Amino acid sequence: VSHSPASTIYALSTIPPTSNQASAIGVIRLAGPASLEALAALAPPSSPPPKPNLFTVRTLSDPASKLPLDSPGILYFQAPRSYTGTDVLELHCHGSPAVIAGVLGTLSSLPYLRPADRGEFTSLAFENGKLSLLDVESLGSLLSAVTSTQRDLALSSSSLSTALYTEYAKTLLSCLATAEAIVDFSDDSESDTTLHTTPWAATIPKVESLLSSMRSHLSTRSAARLIEDGLTVSLYGRPNVGKSSLMNALSSAQTSIVSPIPGTTRDAVRAQVEIAGVKCTVVDTAGMREEAGDEIEERGIEVARREVEGSDVRVRVVCVGEDLSTGAEMEGEPDLTVCNKIDLGSAPPDYNLGVSAETGAGMREFMEKLGEIVKSRVGAGRASEGGESVLVARARHANHVKEAAGCLERFLDRVEEGAVSDDLAAEELRRANTEIARIMGKVDVEQVLDVLFRDFCIGK
């Protein structure tokens, strides 16, 4: 059997081990027609080829030196019933640096193998029709998901988006069929201006309803973006009320310096915290000082003010026995006011939520309250008339849906004017159709893939 030299790829699919850190198992993956040939070169001459979908153990050694490499568990998936659609071998090796380096080194010496590029296994799966473009995109999101809402969005987006965009395409195709008939007809006949409004009568309501569906779908982009990028939650208030202490309690990582000297936190300090399953950046702003003496301090206050105003959730912090002579008040209503240091006395009646960063009292309620606010922010963009709607999972999808909606708007304008040719109106429908086809990867897929696979790791 002869192989083109580059058609079988291999890569370590787990994190490369170092002398400090290694996992128990390291998985090396091979994909392509020479996968079994590579295994045969490393396994004992008498050993039978592996059976598909069964886990077997083989002792592997270097064909040149005959020195043993490892005894990995081996999984074989036979083409086309594999992730990539080609033959796939997984070598579940011991995870130490020496074992992994040894096996990879030996594989690199085989002339019919080459190391895989970033995302090349998935790219093969796409080429062989195992995954759609939307599948690949949501897989990319799943692999980078940190919070539970990011994971949920990634897991559901491929099937939900595919269903929705397929529906769009179907509606557009039926409108297009009518449009092409109208265009043919108006070519054949003498141009009769009274005909211009009537032939589109059945198409107009269809396009209107599709357009309104697209608009409501587009309005979910903000919710998806909040899930992706997260919200900022700012803590603000007078110096020494315990903002930094509260932030530390929230993030439990000591990212902020807590000190008894007022105004230690000169610049905003940030911490990543998952609140209600949503990625949040908690910002501990510098204390607002009214009697800002020097210019640098004044600038700091301005920065803090802008930080608070630009954040998604504003938490005002006051404390028991607060020194009202220091610091300036912030304009605008906070989303939540907490009174810290309730271990020193009772919270004043106008502050509903009493907490103590010191003893942890009230912190659970604080977290819950924050969770409610965060969920309502994400939920607001998510709910539509008919309940939960399909979120626009990616900016790329939003762009194409926006373009398609623009085409439909122009179509409706042109048909209503009745002044332009039927062909120009039909052209808008054709364009809208192309935009939806772009989302699904049916048109111009190459550039999308180039960008997409840049975010994938090697071995995936």
Binding site for ligand GDP (CB under 6 A): 239-245, 258-260, 265, 287, 340-341, 343-344, 356-358
- Measured from the CB of residue 250, what is the shortest distance to Zn ion in angstroms? 13
- Measured from the CB of residue 238, what is the shortest distance to ligand GDP in angstroms? 7
In this complex, which beta carbon is closest to ligand GDP, that of residue 95 or of residue 287? 287
In this complex, which beta carbon is closest to ligand GDP, that of residue 62 or of residue 358? 358
- Measured from the CB of residue 231, what is the shortest distance to ligand GDP in angstroms? 21
What's the rounded Cα separation, in Å, for the pair 450 and 275? 34
In this complex, which beta carbon is closest to Zn ion, that of residue 244 or of residue 340? 244
| Structure tokens belonging to residue 59 | 């002792």
- CA within 13 Å, CB half, 180: 6
C-alpha distances in angstroms, 86 versus 54, 109, 125, 127, 394? 17, 22, 8, 11, 29
Identify which of 357, 278, 358 has the alpha carbon closest to the alpha carbon of residue 312: 278
In this complex, which beta carbon is closest to Zn ion, that of residue 32 or of residue 327? 327
1-8: long-range contacts at Cβ-Cβ below 8 A with a sequence spacing of 24 or more? 1/33, 1/37, 3/32, 3/33, 3/34, 3/37, 3/112, 5/111, 5/112, 5/114, 6/114, 7/32, 7/33, 7/34, 7/112, 8/32, 8/33, 8/34, 8/35, 8/38, 8/112, 8/113, 8/114
- Per partner kind, with CB cut-offs from 5 to 8 A, the member of ligand GDP, Zn ion, none near residue 196 is none
- Measured from the CB of residue 276, what is the shortest distance to ligand GDP in angstroms? 24
Ramachandran region, residue 331 (left: φ > 0; alpha: ψ -120 to 50; beta: rest): beta
Burial class of residue 365 in the structure, from the number of CB atoms within 10 Å of its CB (0-12 exposed, 13-18 middle, 19+ buried): middle
In this complex, which beta carbon is closest to ligand GDP, that of residue 161 or of residue 265? 265
Report the interface residues with Zn ion, using CB under 5 A.
243-244, 265
- Per partner kind, with CB cut-offs from 5 to 8 A, the member of ligand GDP, Zn ion, none near residue 245 is ligand GDP
Q: Where are the beta strands (DSSP E) in 257-406?
A: 269-275, 278-284, 313-319, 336-340, 353-354, 383-384, 387-388
In this complex, which beta carbon is closest to ligand GDP, that of residue 147 or of residue 256? 256
C-alpha distances in angstroms, 362 versus 290, 343, 350, 355, 382? 30, 10, 16, 4, 30
Across-strand partners of 364? Answer: none
- Measured from the CB of residue 374, what is the shortest distance to Zn ion in angstroms? 22
Identify which of 229, 127, 213 has the alpha carbon closest to the alpha carbon of residue 405: 213
What's the rounded Cα separation, in Å, for the pair 398 and 81? 34
- Measured from the CB of residue 239, what is the shortest distance to ligand GDP in angstroms? 5
- Per partner kind, with CB cut-offs from 5 to 8 A, the member of Zn ion, ligand GDP, none near residue 251 is none
What's the rounded Cα separation, in Å, for the pair 107 and 120? 17
Contact between 357 and 245 (Cβ < 8 Å): yes
In this complex, which beta carbon is closest to Zn ion, that of residue 123 or of residue 244? 244
- Per partner kind, with CB cut-offs from 5 to 8 A, the member of ligand GDP, Zn ion, none near residue 97 is none
- Measured from the CB of residue 234, what is the shortest distance to ligand GDP in angstroms? 13
In this complex, which beta carbon is closest to Zn ion, that of residue 308 or of residue 426? 308
Which residues are CB-contacts of 387 (< 8 A; sequence separation ≥ 6)? Answer: none
- Per partner kind, with CB cut-offs from 5 to 8 A, the member of Zn ion, ligand GDP, none near residue 357 is ligand GDP
Q: Output DSSP code: residue 448.
A: H
- Measured from the CB of residue 260, what is the shortest distance to ligand GDP in angstroms? 4
- Per partner kind, with CB cut-offs from 5 to 8 A, the member of ligand GDP, Zn ion, none near residue 343 is ligand GDP
- Measured from the CB of residue 282, what is the shortest distance to Zn ion in angstroms? 12
Contact between 87 and 50 (Cβ < 8 Å): no
- Measured from the CB of residue 235, what is the shortest distance to Zn ion in angstroms? 9
In this complex, which beta carbon is closest to ligand GDP, that of residue 217 or of residue 243? 243
In this complex, which beta carbon is closest to Zn ion, that of residue 243 or of residue 289? 243
